[in-house]
Structure 1
Amino acid sequence: MRVLILIGVILALLGSGDVSARWPTISAQQLRAWLDAIDPPLILDVRGRADYRAGTIAGALDGGVDPRGYLADGNGGRLVLLLPEDADERVIDAWFARLANAGHQVWILEGGLAGWIEAGGTTEVPEFSYTRPGSVPFLIPKGLCEAGEPSQVFD
């Protein structure tokens, strides 16, 4: 009887969706301290473009929703994932694999954006998307590419 109860408890924990049981997590308070450090982590918002553009953690990068579409810079370093509330475990696994293969140490923000806001973290509505924090978006001058149009326009 005790064995059946133990198995039931283990199965309940495995199916609980507790992110911290499978992947490293970071609290909003810890992340705030890291962001004040000399070498802050990259925050990768993978909730989707609409959610990102509606408001995200200041300085976060829009990673899209598909890890296969995100090209990690390969420089490694600390990286914090901002996941959607209903993140699927297979997608989280794929993000971890993609980013770890690029040399990143990856954490998931506990509580997501709601947890960040609840802990007093600030948000912003990003002016640009798909740019690395601290970088300056650029345009290829008209006439230097096909059809005389800029190859990429940031909105």
Structure 2
Amino acid sequence: MADNQADLLMEVALRRVSERYAYAVDTGDGDLLAAQFTADGAVIAPRGTFEGLAQLRGIPAMVAGRYLKTFHAVLNQAVRPVEGGAEGETYCIARHYFRDPAGRYLCYEMTIRYQDRFVRTPDGWRVARRELVVVGTHTYEAQDAAS
């Protein structure tokens, strides 16, 4: 919870970093995703660990190779300043649309939390470490809006 103007500005900046991350995945923009991280930043996920800007830049393409489209919604975020930056937790819903072998249009939905560590750089706030924690998943048939 923001106690002063500096904390409030930090909270807004960190939320924007998380929102740009989600947008980068959904739009397939590897450069935008990598720009949210420090040079040695890392994402730790069930599918593997991605370290450094080159690996991070490849995440949107990897996701696009698995799914027809995605929709990542950033919900609430609780952050606090700590020595050397900030840390917190970001709540999200991630929807991944695909067709199964029978041609059904499905959505694989993940309820997730990111355990985040942020660092303030000369270029602004960046993610140093983001660990994806899966709370639950659900796969269901969806309506393809393009049909």
TM-score range, shorter chain: under 0.3
Bigger radius of gyration, 1 or 2?
1
Structure number with higher helix proportion: 1
Q: Normalized against structure 2, the TM-score is what?
A: 0.27
Specify which structure has the higher proportion of strand. Answer: 2
Output the TM-score relative to the length of structure 1. 0.26
Q: Which has the higher contact order (CA 8 A, sep 6+)?
A: 1
